[in-house]
Chain A
Amino acid sequence: MVRVNLEGVTKRFGNVLAVDNVTLTVESEEFFVLLGPSGCGKTTTLRIVAGLETPDAGRVLFDGVDVTHVPARKRGVAMVFQSYAVWPHMKVFENIAMPLRIRKLPESEIAERVKRVAEILQIDHLLDRYPFQLSGGERQRVAVARALAVEPKVLLMDEPLSNLDALLRVTARAELKRLQKKLRITTLYVTHDQVEAMVLADRIAVMNKGRLVQVGTPDEIYREPIHRFVAHFIGSPPINFFDGVVQEVCIDAGFARIPVNNVPEEYVGKQVIVGVRPEDLSLQPVPRGLELKGELLLIENLGNEYILHVDVGGTTLRVLAREKPTRRDVTLYLDPANLHIFDKSTELRIPLRYK
């Protein structure tokens, strides 16, 4: 399979800088996810890899070969579009077979390949139908089947699950993951859904405003977000933020003094943003836990869990809890080892810890 490199890729649309100096490597056979809010440049980046856009600066390399100015049709990639882009005037069989016909494969092999991918995606009973006779989920499978049938060097997917209903999305997600691991195709996948990214990716690149913010495994991105934006974007329910000031042995957050140790001298007096994930706050005492007295404002029932909104000295914190508290005044326990601390001015992570 193929390794994909982007080197300093930049793309402007008029005055808008859509992709700003993006450099990244998608390793061979890797499932690589570009994650970010809408308008962050992730789809444009994908389209540049596909050859549907030409970058204003920078290079795209497939296995070290510069393909920046190679037209899409000669790149040997396949793409699953957000709209699926299944051709409405062709039956399912023709949709999957057409790219193979263009490649001038013998008719027997075309039939063979269509049959194989149709079986993999369980659409072999639909081959004789027109796309308008299919459901959204079936159409999505046809789009994936068409992409797999060409045995692409790189598989590109642009939010392929976003038009499916919530339940189907979860099953389709697992299926995609299984397929990619089985076929070992280098995959570049674009989504704005952080759960999708966490589930599917070998590695994630978080993008914002055309720039790469962080590249790493799902665990790295989740546990060590290097920027406030990443911490904010990843995790559901979202992370809690509050302001604080670094002191010699603690961070003064107003409503609490959170212990930290080994504070370098230059950090003392620094304004910081402290992030605590809702699951790192607990109603049960934890070892070394910091006690926070608060007042319960709201309960969101998720069925198996509850999101509690708790006011602690004027700051509202979201807490993920297994059970509902019985009283309005609650005590939260915070393990200071699980804090994410960011510089207030640069919003970059500061390596402050409590060990």
Chain B
Amino acid sequence: MIKRWLTYIGALAIAVWILLPIAYTTLASFAEIRDYYARVIPRSYTLRYYEEYFRLGVLDALVRSVQVGLITVALSFIFGLPAGYAIGRWAFKGRDTLRMAVIFFRVFPVAVMAVPLAVTYISLGLYDTLLGIALAHTAIALPFVILITSSIFISIPKDLEEAGHVFGMSGLHVFLRITLPLAAPGLAAAAMFTFLISWNEVVAATILSYVNRTLPAMVLSPYVIGTGGELPDPYKFAAATIMILPALLFMAYVRRYLITMWGAAGVR
């Protein structure tokens, strides 16, 4: 009984920890500036900050963000999935070194890499294109994709694939009919994670684009960065809410699929 109550209290604490900042951020994004600085909980509200962002083209930026995210997922899976499979499935010379090398790519700070990258992009004609940003995001996401997918493939018993070979399947058949369906729940999670990396990335997106900005670059650059942080807080809260909202809607939508997938994977 006591244990049960402790569980509830713990769950409540975690929920408050996550939800309270989101709730306050949303609330403050509608507050009149004078009211916001005067009270803890504002009483008069306005849509002004949102109107401003919409006038600046936040919807277009959102569409671009989704596009960049999808291209990033596609590219990083095209390159990362075979690498993850190889590292997870086959013992070969230098495998552990390779695994470490993959992690080491993460030590290069994006901010340092982004400026030379911008110069290169200009000469290649990739500057200010969605593909350009997606390529940079792919470089950032690839190590994660390789490591996550390799551990997903490790967790699939080799016997199941070998049974496929013995019972007449070609290598491609085995991958499509056995390995991939079994890896699907994990791969879906990895895809979502990759999408979020791209969705949240701001430094490279800001430096590598000028007009065709992704959502975070767009909402952050003109006001927060452009004014040196002098902008009134409700503008920033509105920007944050715009960032959070699509992710929340998305999670709410895929939640039941996630539970089905992970539920099914759990009983294996």
Nearest chain-B residue to A102 (Cβ)? B168
Q: Report the bound CA distance from A222 to B157 in whole Å.
A: 37
A85 proximal to B (CB < 8 A): yes
Residues of A within 8 A of B165 (CB): 51-52, 71-73
Q: Given A83-B159, A85-B163, does the pair A73, B168 have CB atoms closer than 8 Å?
A: yes
* A52, closest chain B residue (CB): B162
Which A residues between 72 and 108 are near B, CB-CB below 8 angstroms? Answer: 72-74, 77-79, 81-83, 85, 87-89, 98-99, 102-103
What are the interface flags for A154-169 relative to B under an 8 Å C-beta threshold, 1 for contact and 0 otherwise?
A: 0010000000000000
Interface assignment of B1: CB less than 8 Å from any CB of chain A: no
- Asked if A89 and B163 sit within 8 Å, CB to CB, the answer is no
A99 to B167, CA, bound (A): 5
Q: Roughly how many angstroms separate A77 CA and B163 CA in the complex, as a whole number? A: 11
Instruction: Given A99-B168, A103-B168, answer yes or no on A87-B173 (Cβ-Cβ < 8 Å).
Output: no
Contacting residues, chain B, for A102 (C-beta < 8 A): 167-169, 173
CB of B181 closer than 8 Å to a CB of A: yes
Kindly state the separation between the CA atoms of A51 and B159 in the bound complex, as whole angstroms: 14
> B177 near A: Cβ within 8 Å?
yes
How many angstroms from the CA of A308 to the CA of B109 in the assembled complex? 74
8 A Cβ contacts from B124-179 to A: 157, 159-160, 162-163, 165-170, 173, 177-178
Name A50's closest neighbour in chain B (CB-CB): B166
Residue pair B182, A85 in contact (C-beta under 8 Å)? no
Q: B252 on the interface (CB 8 Å rule)? A: no
Q: Contacts A52-B162, A85-B159, A132-B268 given; indicate if A78 touches B167 (C-beta within 8 A).
A: yes
Provide the residues of chain B in CB contact with A146, threshold 8 Å.
167
For residues 43 through 84 of chain A, which have their beta carbon under 8 Å from a beta carbon of chain B? 50-52, 71-74, 77-79, 81-83
Residues B173 and A81 in contact, CB atoms below 8 Å apart: no
**For the complex, what is the distance from the CA of A83 to the CA of B177, rounded to whole Å?**
19
User: In whole Å, how far is B175's beta carbon from the nearest beta carbon of chain A?
Assistant: 13
If over half of B's interface residues share one DSSP class (helix, strand or loop), that class is named, otherwise mixed; here it is: helix
Report how many residues on chain A are interfacial, defined by Cβ distance under 8 Å.
Answer: 25
Please count how many residues in chain B sit with their CB below 8 Å of the partner chain's CB atoms.
Answer: 18
Q: Complex formed: what's the CA distance from A74 to B171 in Å?
A: 12
Q: B170 contacts A73, CB within 8 Å?
A: yes
B267 at the interface (CB under 8 A from A): yes
Q: How far is the CA of A294 from the CA of B58 in the complex (A)?
A: 97
Which residues of the partner chain B approach A83 to less than 8 Å between Cβ atoms?
157, 159
Does any Cβ of B come within 8 Å of A234's Cβ? Answer: no
- Cα of A38 to Cα of B182 in the assembled complex, Å: 30
A contact residues around B163 at 8 Å (CB): 79, 81, 85, 87
- When A73-B165, A85-B162 are in contact, do A132 and B267 touch as well, CB less than 8 Å? yes
Kindly state whether residue A150 has any CB partner on chain B within 8 Å: yes
In the complex, which residues 134-162 of chain A have their Cβ closer than 8 Å to any Cβ of chain B? 146, 150, 156
Interface membership of chain B positions 88-102, coded 1 if the CB is closer than 8 angstroms to chain A and 0 otherwise: 000000000000000
Verify A51–B166 contact, CB threshold 8 A: yes
Q: Is the CB of A87 within 8 A of B178?
A: yes
Please list 28 pairs of residues, one from A and one from B, whose beta carbons are closer than 8 Å in the complex, sorted by A's number.
Answer: A50-B166, A52-B162, A52-B165, A52-B166, A71-B165, A72-B162, A72-B166, A73-B170, A74-B168, A77-B166, A78-B166, A78-B167, A79-B166, A82-B159, A83-B159, A85-B162, A85-B163, A87-B160, A88-B268, A89-B178, A89-B181, A89-B182, A98-B177, A102-B168, A102-B173, A132-B268, A150-B167, A156-B166
| B interface with A by C-beta (< 8 Å) | 157, 159-160, 162-163, 165-170, 173, 177-178, 181-182, 267-268
